[in-house]
Structure 1
Amino acid sequence: MCILLHLYSLSFLPIILSSIFLYKWLNTSNQKNPPPFPPRLPILGNLHQLWKAPHHSLHSLSQKYGDLMLLRLGSKPTLVVSSANAAQEIMKTYDIIFSNRPESTPAGKLLYKGKDVAFANYGEYWRQMKSICTLQLLSTTRVRSFRSIREEETASMVEKIVKSIPSVVNLRETFVTLTNDVLCRAAFGRKYARDERANFGVLLKKFVELLGEFAMGDFVPWLGWIDRVNCLEDRLDKVAKALDAVLERFVDEHLDSNSNRRAKVKDFVDVLLEVQKDNTAGVLMDRESIKAVILDTFAAGTDTSSALMEWAMSELLRHPKALKKLQEEVRRINRGKESVNEQDLEKMEYLKAVIKETLMLHPPLALLVFREAREDVKINGYDIAARTQVIINAWAIQRDPSFWEEPNEFHPERFLTSAVDFKGQHFQLIPFGAGRRSCPGILFATIGAELALANLIYAFNWALPDGAQGDTLDMSESSGITIHRRDPLLAVATPYLFT
């Protein structure tokens, strides 16, 4: 049916295109001094400039029009932020004014109409749910309690690689499996069975992809019918329904006193059900709230973490000297042990520098989750109207030569003598955002990535297939809300510990 509607709609395409240029683009505004802006098309505004690699195209535009640039994306005025100083104004000085989220059809359908944390609008409900995530789900104590899960799943990953030798290792699949298994155990108390895992993995992949889908109705409301014609609404409804069924089963399993579930530590569902029962949140937290928060953790904790690890290994394979330096550190600190445990990570300064450098060059969310102004405000002398959407280009900010020497080169050594960190205090490095809307899962994400990389480097020597040299490795990016490598990373593992 969708295909027939799509074909039928093509007959109207010439009329639509002609109509676009018959309209006079109205850009009436009460702003006395708006930020600089590039020329716009009627109706579409600047949408045509963002179809491919938006973080690159926005960076190019900002170099001409400035660190604060006003675009018109359909009917939405959109402020693009491309410098650390401007980002600090948005995420610190005027953080509360820019704490709203713009409406998003994909997020609304997939995340129970704003009952999650990442995409919920600013207000009392969001404040209480963010507090639950920060203090109950993702506190340092809670994250540390999952140490045995991370170490067991990392050991399982190493064992699988050993058994696969001499086959080429698909590191993307390896990291996706690891992050999904760790998060399943942390969230639900158990992993999926083999067939369940495959289905759930497919659903999660579609979920993340759809979160980043462009919905025409969000930007040009009277063209919202296009979202029905291209089946976006059908796809959103289908994935939302399937994920809801999975989450319902897990919540019911936790409520069933006869369940055989035997988790060593409280998982996320346990914690959320306790908060709901005790009503300690101060807001009405129903089953939809629980399911929305769980989906948030999967969106933020699986796709982005696996992307981080894949980019890190890609850069190490491209830079043999850095790989060797990391090997020497890991093997010196861990000499004589069967594997790297989390206690060992504290001593690995170069490993932490590699993680920081990777996050600087390849932030998983190149464009941070969009914000929206709650009221009129003046930034750096420019008038910003209420309900203006805000895009913070973390990718561009983190490659700013005014802050970084050779910002496009992989140099982990820069962080060995620098106090700059990614926890929201240094605005030239903001892969997790900053301020009220920063990601609460920084520790969960980074400690898992550090443990996985340390064990891979400790247990194996690595090379590209067929004797390829690192400088030939294609580093092209994919499109989507999370920036992955375009092609999966394939590598050859030679046992170091098991010979």
Structure 2
Amino acid sequence: MEPFTIFSIVSFFLILYTCWALVTTTKTPRNLPPGPPKLPIIGHIHLLDKITPHRNLRNLAQKYGPIMHLQLGQFSTVVISSPRLAREILKIQDINFADKPTTTTSQIFFYQGASIGWAPYGSYLIQMKKLVTLQLFSAKKVRSFSYIREDELTRVFKFLESSSGAPINFRDMTKEMVNNIVSRATLGDICQDRQLIIDSTYAMLKSFNSFNVFNYYRCLNFVNVISGKKAQWLKMHKEVDVILERILKEHKNNLNQDHEDIVDILLRVKDSGDIVMTNDHVKAIILELLLAGTSSSSMTIEWAFCEMMKNPKIMKKAQSEVRGVVKGNTITEADIQRLDYIKLVIKETMRLHGVPILLPRENQKDCIVDGYDIPAKTRVLVNSWACATDPDTWENPYSFIPERFENSSISYSGDDFEFLPFGAGRRMCPGVNFGLSTVEHAIANLLYHFNWKLPDGLKPDDLDMREVTAISTVPIQPLRIVPISMKEAY
């Protein structure tokens, strides 16, 4: 359909919607949180920043307060920007805010909300989170994937040895390594479609994260149909579904008793009948693990190296620790547990560069937060980056200081609302063990086996630390650094 025709139809329906909203708006005054002035029809959509939304929302919160109301098209939205109010949403009133708002793409791509991240709160979600915590990503299961981490790190070492002294694209290397670790743990080693499903899921992720103004208007969902977007999404989903069905069939015919992967576990649980699951549930969870597990871990590793290259004293201290602890050429699980300073570096990286805004919540019923009325079905965004850089909580909040976590009880558990890299409450990410293990082993090994320097005479102060937001944030330019082999030291 011609763009002008679509524009005319959209304009007509927006005018109708505005008239309907004016007529049906309740006469009862509501004590909503404060917020900036809004425009007719679009509300505050024009204030959204696609590059660094967490920073823009923090700037607005500095003017309008830590609880702020925005009208995004048809959707009433509340933004939370302080640890105190994050605790109110994610702990005190967590059960009321345990649901997630749905979108057309989440329903299509994740089999009508069958994944853990997009499932409505209820018995299915509770059972699945228990399954993930106790079986898929238990400490014992994560340790069983050690051979995968070792294989992939060995492959990386060979690449770095061959590239010693020359600049490399650190992001590409890290992304491929984490992709392989996550996909092998999820799909197994025999999966013939592993690379194909990774490429397909990344294309899906790009579409899922793309800005679509029609998502802010229920009355305009039909535009995605007449513009052909919905057909594109359905085609993309169908292509991925065919691959996933082939993967499930492959696993049913070739059960691996020596190294049971995540698909094997999901199929075993489904067949046992302990949890009511279909193939669609299994496929939705596989997709979610591939998408969430790869992007967040690789971004954390890249940011950690950006910060260490920016702060050579921190790099030297981290390298001295790992080279003092490790004996021989292999870093063991016991070694990882003794790397206290590297754990501080990772914590500080996640504080400054973790998931900037938690996935939106939606309250089931009217409630009051901080004295303000929050009507049912309001979308709630917790700006976790704003909480992690709150000046009332953190000293020098924007500086990279791993030592701030020394002798600190702050953990990844979701009980400290000034530090929420994995979220909190009933919708907290259940893959903490797996994600941290991947990040810790990668950073420790890369520091142990290689020295690193910036290319082309670049100075630490010249490193571009600007960011752009995807699921997490990434440096606006991929990190390019030079590996220097330490092989002769052994």
Partner in structure 2 of residue 174 of structure 1: 173
Structure 2 contact 353–472 (Cα < 8 Å) conserved:
no
- Aligned partners of 2:185 and 2:4: how far apart in 1? 46
Q: How does 1:83-102 map to 2 (within 5 A)?
A: 83-102=82-101
Q: How does 1:104-143 map to 2 (within 5 A)?
A: 104-143=103-142
SS of 1:224's partner is: helix
Give the CA deviation at 1:10.
Answer: 5.6
- Aligned partners of 2:347 and 2:41: how far apart in 1? 41
Find out whether 1:319 has 2:303 as its counterpart: no
Candidates 36, 47, 58, aligned match of 1:38: 36
- Aligned partners of 1:29 and 1:89: how far apart in 2? 29
Structure 1 contact 40–72 (Cα < 8 Å) conserved:
yes
Find out whether 1:189 has 2:181 as its counterpart: no
For structure 1, the residue ranges without an aligned partner over 5 or more in a row are none
SS of 1:471's partner is: helix
Partner in structure 2 of residue 68 of structure 1: 67
Measured at CA, do residues 401 and 187 of structure 1 come closer, stay the same or move farther in structure 2, by a change above 3 Å? same
- Aligned partners of 2:16 and 2:473: how far apart in 1? 32
Q: How does 1:378-417 map to 2 (within 5 A)?
A: 378-417=368-407
Partner in structure 2 of residue 344 of structure 1: 335
Candidates 328, 331, 355, aligned match of 2:346: 355
SS of 1:247's partner is: helix
Give the CA deviation at 1:37.
Answer: 1.9
- Aligned partners of 1:313 and 1:236: how far apart in 2? 36
SS of 2:107's partner is: helix
Find out whether 1:447 has 2:437 as its counterpart: yes
SS of 2:96's partner is: coil
Structure 2 contact 43–73 (Cα < 8 Å) conserved:
yes
Which is worse superposed, 162-171 or 285-294? 162-171
Give the CA deviation at 1:427.
Answer: 0.5
Measured at CA, do residues 263 and 178 of structure 1 come closer, stay the same or move farther in structure 2, by a change above 3 Å? farther
SS of 1:465's partner is: coil
Partner in structure 1 of residue 262 of structure 2: 268
- Aligned partners of 1:240 and 1:115: how far apart in 2? 14
Measured at CA, do residues 73 and 333 of structure 1 come closer, stay the same or move farther in structure 2, by a change above 3 Å? same
Partner in structure 2 of residue 463 of structure 1: 453
Partner in structure 2 of residue 216 of structure 1: 213
- Aligned partners of 2:356 and 2:84: how far apart in 1? 17
Which is worse superposed, 227-236 or 469-478? 227-236
Which is worse superposed, 87-96 or 46-55? 46-55
Structure 2 contact 13–220 (Cα < 8 Å) conserved:
no
For structure 2, the residue ranges without an aligned partner over 5 or more in a row are none
- Aligned partners of 1:200 and 1:373: how far apart in 2? 35
Give the CA deviation at 1:273.
Answer: 0.9
Residue by residue, what CA displacement relative to the aligned partner does 1:131-163 show, whole Å, maximum 9, x if unpaired?
222222122222222122222222221222112
Residue by residue, what CA displacement relative to the aligned partner does 1:44-98 show, whole Å, maximum 9, x if unpaired?
1111111432111111111111111111111111110000000000010011000
Give the CA deviation at 1:425.
Answer: 1.0
- Aligned partners of 2:166 and 2:20: how far apart in 1? 61
Which is worse superposed, 89-98 or 205-214? 205-214
Partner in structure 1 of residue 160 of structure 2: 161
Q: How many residues align?
A: 486
Find out whether 1:481 has 2:471 as its counterpart: yes
Give the CA deviation at 1:331.
Answer: 0.5
Q: How does 1:222-371 map to 2 (within 5 A)?
A: 222-228=219-225, 231-256=228-253, 259=254, 262=256, 264-281=258-275, 284-335=276-327, 337-363=328-354, 365-371=355-361
Q: TM-score, normalised by structure 1?
A: 0.92
SS of 2:69's partner is: strand
Aligned-pair RMSD on alpha carbons? 2.3
